[in-house]
Amino acid sequence: MSITFARLVSIFLDKRELNKTTYNSYISTLMPLLQQYGKHSPQSINRDTIIKYLQNIPNISNSTRNRHQAVIQAVFNFGVEQGYLDYNPISRLKRCKVVKTQESEITAEQMTQLCQFVEKDLRMSALIRLIYSTKLKIGEILALNLVDVDLENQRILVRKQDWNHYDVETATYLRNYITFSRHPQSHALFTAKHPSTAKVTRLTYRRVHRCWVDITSQSSLLVGLHLTSLW
């Protein structure tokens, strides 16, 4: 399928349905790369080309450099998912080391911005809020089935034996996800639908992590956050 890199980026941004702030952030990040390779085929942009490009961005911190890498990687992941590319040329590319002042959980400011960025994604909104509220690990959340949720009493049954309660705000997010976004063909609480086969399965950690990288790459405030920052 013949397509330019600029066209791929355009389709990627349209599919994301981003708010104005996030859209402008993506454009600002991708513009230097588009100016150099916008007319090229995405297939012709190899790993060495992107590594050299990232290394040569002037006057930025390693944290910002990692943000550029995350956004570019999200575009190529999208290209693979949509069939425009056979593979992501920077898959598993290591990020620059960033000196952390301290290891801590997500701040209130970060959580607020994170929720704003996932506002239109009911599944990720519910997942993030549920992890943040219950402090359960991602694997425990993804293992839940719909029958493990007690919406009336705002609690979930973990490992078929322990009840964990969540807050009122999380209850709203979870109810909206179950009502308007969850696929009923699966017993799983958090479900995913394959774009090509339309097969519904349990949401996987790999897919959550990919979404997380896409989300946190939108802001320097969020870059470097891990899912473990939520608990």
Domain residue ranges of the chain, discontinuous segments joined by +: 5-81, 108-230
Domain 108-230 has CATH 3.40.50.970: no
Are the C-beta atoms of 52 and 46 separated by less than 8 Å?
Answer: no
CA distance readout (Å), 212 to 87, 173, 222, 223: 20, 17, 10, 10
Distance of CA 108 to the CA centre of its chain: 19
Query: Which DSSP category does 49 fall into?
Result: H
Query: Which DSSP category does 204 fall into?
Result: P
10-residue mean pLDDT profile of the chain (231 residues): values are 89 79 82 94 93 87 80 88 90 70 70 91 96 88 95 87 84 96 96 91 94 87 85 72
Q: Which residues contact 105 (CB under 8 A, 6 or more apart)?
A: 229, 230, 231
Are the C-beta atoms of 66 and 213 separated by less than 8 Å?
Answer: no
Residue 6 and residue 41: Cα distance in Å, rounded?
9
CA triple 141-195-16, angle to 5 deg: 80
First-to-last C-alpha distance (Å) of the chain:
43
pTM of the predicted model, to two decimals?
0.58
pLDDT of the residue at 101:
44
Report residue 158 as tokens. Answer: 């973990």
What is the greatest pairwise CA distance in the chain? 57
pLDDT of the residue at 104:
55
pLDDT of the residue at 34:
94
